[in-house]
């Protein structure tokens, strides 16, 4: 077992015990208070990650007052630490949307303690890809062969706009079952949204086609397997998917620096979570710049209040790529 997966396993165990304790105390407390029915008149949908939340808002309509769409910000970065309120919301909701990947063990533990939750998993809507692409993480090439039996599917399914369409359509059909009376509205909302997603998808495709085979270099984790696969991009990253490790090996950094020089790469990317140290270091060593690629998985309540949507964030990524690649 690699240090990577051991660390991951320990983290998962910690989350498991935390959630188990919370479930126990929740049920003890709620059995003491008789007025906790959790029942509501309207329809409520609880979403444990930003992309699922944003797709759901588009499907039901952003100004829809009959359906409450709740974003659990506690679940947005794979370290789910729900509050009592979150648990009550999940228990009484009409539909619960989450990724359903390997980092969601704590959510799975919570769901297994509840009966009758209408669960929607984004990972069930798309074709899954393995976390590591061949040679995408230079320093890990050797580990890769030995760790084959532990290789996991990448859970960042929303990073491809095409997948976003598939997920939104599946969310739509599920909501139509809950509220068949308004099914036509949801299907029309989804059709309009899917068109917008595909329009942006075409912009990315055009851009990548116009610049030829320039690799993307990430001095960071790489949760963009699905995005890269959509446009057959070549990429190099310091760390895989959502690795808990925050420091790549010296060998990996040296190889990334070589790649930047050899391929005449103009910018080294980092993602929105964590420090940007590695990307900054590689950029400083190669006379290039460091640039943000927002993978849409750590979006705060504040950013949502300020109007951030999946589409707005992906359009910013398009602009960044255009500036860097052309």
Contact window for Zn ion (CB under 5 A) among 29-37, 120-128, 207-215, 217-225: 217-225
Neighbours of 234 (CB within 10 A): 15
Token readout for 224 is: 């963009």
Q: Which is nearer to Zn ion, 208 or 218 (CB)?
A: 218
Contact window for Zn ion (CB under 5 A) among 66-74, 145-153, 160-168, 241-249: 241-249
Q: Which residues contact 229 (CB under 8 A, 6 or more apart)?
A: 129, 160
Residue 223 binds to Zn ion (criterion: CB under 5 A) = yes
Which residue is associated with the tokens 């940007």? 276
User: Does an H or E element contain 303, and which?
Assistant: helix 301-305
Residue 296 binds to Zn ion (criterion: CB under 5 A) = no
* Minimum distance from residue 21 beta carbon to Zn ion (Å): 24
Q: CB–CB of 8/242 below 8 Å?
A: no
Angle at 195 between CA 192 and CA 196, to 5 degrees: 90
d(CA 31, CA 29): 5
Q: Which is nearer to Zn ion, 265 or 299 (CB)?
A: 299
Token readout for 137 is: 């993480």
Closest CA to 204 of 303, 276, 309, 293: 293
* Minimum distance from residue 242 beta carbon to Zn ion (Å): 3
* Minimum distance from residue 136 beta carbon to Zn ion (Å): 16
Q: CB–CB of 251/139 below 8 Å?
A: yes
Q: Taking CB positions, which residue lies at the least distance from Zn ion?
A: 242
Q: Which is nearer to Zn ion, 252 or 295 (CB)?
A: 295
Residue 75 binds to Zn ion (criterion: CB under 5 A) = no
| 265 phi/psi in degrees, rounded to 5 | -75, 140
Binds Zn ion by CB under 5 A, chosen from 59, 126, 216, 242:
242
Contact window for Zn ion (CB under 5 A) among 104-112, 239-247, 302-310, 312-320: 239-247
Q: Which is nearer to Zn ion, 242 or 267 (CB)?
A: 242
Contact window for Zn ion (CB under 5 A) among 85-93, 229-237, 238-246, 272-280: 238-246
Q: Which is nearer to Zn ion, 27 or 235 (CB)?
A: 235
Token readout for 76 is: 């947005």
| 264 phi/psi in degrees, rounded to 5 | 55, 45
Applying CB under 5 A, the site for Zn ion has a residue count of 2
Residues that bind Zn ion (CB under 5 A): 223, 242
């Amino acid at each position: 077992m690699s240090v990577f997966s051991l660390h991951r396993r320990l983290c998962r165990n910690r989350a498991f015990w935390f959630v188990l304790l919370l479930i126990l105390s929740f049920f003890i407390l709620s059995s003491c208070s008789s007025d906790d029915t959790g029942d509501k008149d309207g329809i409520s949908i609880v979403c444990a990650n930003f992309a699922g939340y944003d797709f759901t808002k588009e499907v039901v309509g952003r100004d829809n007052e009959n359906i409450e769409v709740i974003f659990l910000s506690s679940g947005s970065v794979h370290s789910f630490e729900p509050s009592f309120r979150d648990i009550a919301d999940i228990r009484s909701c009409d539909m619960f949307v989450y990724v359903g990947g390997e980092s969601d063990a704590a959510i799975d533990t919570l769901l297994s303690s509840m009966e009758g939750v209408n669960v929607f998993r984004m990972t069930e809507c798309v074709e899954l890809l393995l976390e590591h692409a061949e040679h995408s993480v230079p320093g890990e090439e050797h580990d890769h062969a030995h760790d084959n039996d532990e290789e996991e599917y990448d859970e960042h399914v929303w990073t491809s706009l095409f997948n976003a369409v598939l997920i939104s359509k599946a969310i739509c059909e599920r909501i139509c079952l809950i509220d068949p009376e308004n099914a036509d509205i949801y299907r029309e909302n989804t059709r309009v949204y899917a068109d917008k997603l595909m329009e942006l998808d075409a912009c990315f495709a055009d851009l990548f086609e116009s610049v030829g085979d320039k690799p993307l270099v990430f001095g960071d984790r790489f949760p963009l397997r699905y995005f890269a696969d959509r446009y057959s991009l070549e990429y190099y990253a310091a760390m895989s998917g959502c690795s808990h490790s925050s420091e790549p090996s010296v060998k990996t950094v040296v190889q990334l620096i070589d790649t930047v020089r050899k391929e005449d790469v103009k910018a080294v990317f980092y993602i929105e979570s964590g420090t940007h140290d590695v990307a900054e270091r590689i950029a400083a060593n190669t006379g290039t710049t460091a640039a943000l690629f927002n993978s849409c998985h750590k979006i705060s309540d504040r950013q949502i209040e300020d109007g951030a949507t999946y589409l707005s964030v992906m359009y910013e990524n398009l602009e960044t790529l255009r500036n860097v690649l052309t």
